[in-house]
């Protein structure tokens, strides 16, 4: 009597829905809840819409680039691998280290904003980043580290649930803003000329300036809310189907653009810009409370708390996976290549948790902890995004006559947009990032020696490393002199 062969167990992995949830939940953290105040302080409705047009096209081009790369280079996993393949191991390290920096720095920003959100219900937390708030952030940090340490696929399933919960208040806010939208309020100072003239007449220097200056002022805030959209690419090797990575990235980014534009632009048609600028941050709870009553602020604040938890969870997954991926690629020492019984990179999680803890304590001495953290986070990850897009340009150029012209154009536009935007809005932040790269360079050299690589670094790589160190020294000097402030 013949026996039927046992059915092989179904391969575990992250589904398409889980990947889309990772893209959206990783990006929708605290930023969307503060967009109204942050953008109204930078620009009037007209320039803000133009800034969103440029930013939206730029990030859709980047999402398309990530999607195409996952298809044409399915054996490469994540943005670090693209930089390594295209430009060598040290540039791969530069991409990976910048990505890792941006993610855990972003978690610190989440922690600071979380205490503000809790302060809506518990007033002692509304007094800024106090010792008590730091203690709370520390406990939550290590709790999330412990959760992810149980396995990233299980954490991703929880992430899909969190995404559904936190999108409800955001959609409710958008619907109410559509209902109360007044076109006359929206167009009263559409290009910001009245605000500029008033500030100039009073001898003030707070006016955003010309239309192009207002657009530039929006870039850093707008780029910040897209940090995390590369999540599906980073975890592509854990997807149930490799083809899902491209679909998840493009669908997730499309949803993000729609949500962000609606949440940030519609309030211009409800409250005058001056009132939006005067609201506390995050502004969404206060706008919703103004529209529907006291319960509205509590409703949005609860959504913000859930949102931050979901983004923090996603960022922790991304940070540990990025660091572990660098170790697998021999860009970091072997100690970071260890997995526990749940297939989670424990050493990478520990390193990430320690760095979050240290920076959280340091932020006690900052007057603008949230703004500094998210700005530095954004500047760091732009390096990784740009290198990934540059690799697509390099790969597609010799194949431009073989159906790759579209991918080449989109990748080139993404490169140009990211480079120009960060140079115009945050060159000092890029200099500060170089300081954080210095210890990473020593880890890289140790990893190369550990694997017996010869040469450890090429002449061009040594020149790039020297340039980073020189910029880091200059940034430290300017910081000490007060020219660069945090």
pLDDT tens, 268-327? Answer: 999 999 999 888 778 899 999 999 998 999 999 988 888 888 778 878 887 888 898 899
What's the confidence (pLDDT) of residue 45?
Answer: 94
In this structure, are residues 150 and 143 in contact, taking their beta carbons and an 8 Å threshold? no
In this structure, are residues 177 and 270 in contact, taking their beta carbons and an 8 Å threshold? yes
C-beta atoms surrounding 197 within 10 Å:
12
Quick: pLDDT tens for 152-202: 655 556 666 677 777 889 999 999 999 999 999 999 889 887 655 544 443
Give the integer Cα–Cα distance in Å for 228 and 311: 8
Residue 11 DSSP code: P
Phi, psi of 293 (to 5 degrees): 115, 180
At CB < 8 A and 24+ separation, what contacts does 182-188 make?
182/269, 182/270, 183/269, 185/268, 185/269, 185/270, 185/271, 185/272, 186/45, 186/268, 186/269, 187/45, 188/272
In this structure, are residues 235 and 19 in contact, taking their beta carbons and an 8 Å threshold? yes
Q: Which of 133, 117, 149, 134 is nearest to 319 (CA)?
A: 149
Among 41-55, 222-236, 245-259, 443-457, the range scoring the smallest mean pLDDT is 222-236
In this structure, are residues 92 and 243 in contact, taking their beta carbons and an 8 Å threshold? no
Rounded to 5°, angle at Cα 220 from 279 and 136: 60
Quick: pLDDT tens for 103-155: 899 999 999 888 888 888 887 777 777 888 899 999 999 999 998 888 765 55
Q: Which of 325, 278, 256 is nearest to 78 (CA)?
A: 325
Q: In the predicted model, what is the mean pLDDT of residues 32-58?
A: 92
Where do the domains of the chain lie?
16-426
Residue 203 pLDDT > 60: no
Longest alpha-carbon distance in the chain: 97
What does CATH list as the number for 16-426? Answer: 1.20.1740.10
Give the integer Cα–Cα distance in Å for 28 and 313: 12
Give the integer Cα–Cα distance in Å for 119 and 140: 16
Residue 8 pLDDT > 90: no
Phi, psi of 339 (to 5 degrees): -115, 145
Question: What is the number of alpha carbons within 13 Å of residue 236 lying toward its C-beta?
Answer: 28
In this structure, are residues 173 and 300 in contact, taking their beta carbons and an 8 Å threshold? yes
% the chain with pLDDT above 70: 90
Place 10 in a pLDDT band, splitting at 50, 70 and 90: very low
Helix or strand holding residue 77 (H, E): none
Q: In the predicted model, what is the mean pLDDT of residues 24-34?
A: 81
What's the confidence (pLDDT) of residue 197?
Answer: 53
Quick: pLDDT tens for 65-87: 988 888 888 888 778 889 999 99
Torsion angle, CA of 109/427/97/460, rounded to 10 degrees? 180
Q: Which regions of 347-417 does DSSP assign to beta strands (E)?
A: none
Give the integer Cα–Cα distance in Å for 243 and 234: 14
Place 467 in a pLDDT band, splitting at 50, 70 and 90: very high
% the chain with pLDDT above 90: 45
What's the confidence (pLDDT) of residue 202?
Answer: 38
Place 6 in a pLDDT band, splitting at 50, 70 and 90: very low
């Amino acid at each position: 009597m013949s026996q039927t062969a046992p059915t092989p167990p179904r391969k575990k992995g992250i589904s398409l829905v889980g990947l889309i949830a990772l893209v959206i939940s990783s990006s929708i953290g605290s930023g969307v809840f503060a967009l109204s105040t942050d953008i109204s302080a930078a620009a009037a409705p007209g320039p803000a819409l133009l800034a969103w047009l440029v930013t939206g096209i730029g990030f859709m081009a980047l999402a398309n680039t990530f999607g195409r790369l996952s298809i044409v280079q399915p054996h490469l996993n994540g943005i670090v691998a693209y930089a390594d393949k295209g430009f060598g191991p040290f540039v791969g390290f530069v991409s990976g280290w910048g990505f890792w920096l941006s993610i855990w720095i972003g978690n610190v920003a989440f922690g600071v904003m979380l205490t503000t959100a809790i302060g809506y219900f518990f007033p002692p937390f509304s007094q800024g980043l106090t010792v008590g708030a730091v203690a709370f952030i520390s406990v939550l940090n290590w709790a999330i580290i412990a959760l992810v340490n149980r396995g990233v696929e299980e954490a991703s399933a929880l992430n899909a649930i969190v995404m559904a919960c936190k999108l409800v208040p955001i959609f409710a806010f958008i619907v109410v803003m559509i209902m109360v939208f007044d076109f006359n309020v929206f167009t009263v100072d559409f290009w910001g000329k009245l605000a500029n003239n008033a500030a100039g007449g009073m001898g003030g220097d707070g006016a955003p300036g010309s239309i192009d200056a207002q657009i530039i002022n929006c870039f850093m805030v707008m780029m910040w809310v897209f940090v995390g959209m590369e999540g599906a690419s980073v975890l592509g090797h854990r997807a149930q189907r490799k083809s899902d990575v491209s679909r998840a990235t493009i669908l997730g980014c499309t949803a993000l653009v729609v949500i962000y534009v609606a949440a940030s632009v519609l309030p211009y048609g409800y409250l005058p810009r001056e009132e939006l600028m005067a609201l506390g941050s995050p502004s969404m709870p206060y706008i919703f409370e103004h529209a529907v009553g006291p319960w509205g602020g509590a409703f949005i604040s609860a959504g913000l708390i859930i949102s931050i938890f979901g983004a923090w969870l996603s960022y922790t997954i991304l940070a540990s996976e990025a660091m572990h991926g660098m170790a697998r690629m021999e860009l970091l020492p072997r100690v970071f290549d260890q997995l526990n019984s749940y297939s989670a990179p424990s050493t990478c999680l520990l390193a990430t948790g320690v760095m979050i803890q240290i920076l959280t304590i340091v932020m006690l001495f900052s007057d603008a902890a949230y703004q500094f953290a998210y700005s530095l986070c954004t500047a760091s990850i732009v390096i990784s995004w740009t290198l990934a897009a540059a690799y697509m340009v390099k790969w597609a150029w010799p194949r431009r006559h073989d159906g790759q012209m579209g991918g080449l154009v989109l990748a080139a536009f993404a490169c140009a947009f990211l480079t120009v935007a960060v140079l115009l809005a945050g060159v000092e932040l890029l200099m500060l990032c170089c300081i954080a790269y210095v210890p990473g360079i020593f880890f890289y050299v140790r990893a190369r020696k550990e694997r017996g690589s010869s040469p450890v670094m090429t002449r061009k790589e040594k020149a790039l490393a020297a340039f980073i160190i020189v910029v880091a020294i200059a940034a430290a000097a300017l910081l000490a002199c007060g020219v660069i402030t945090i």
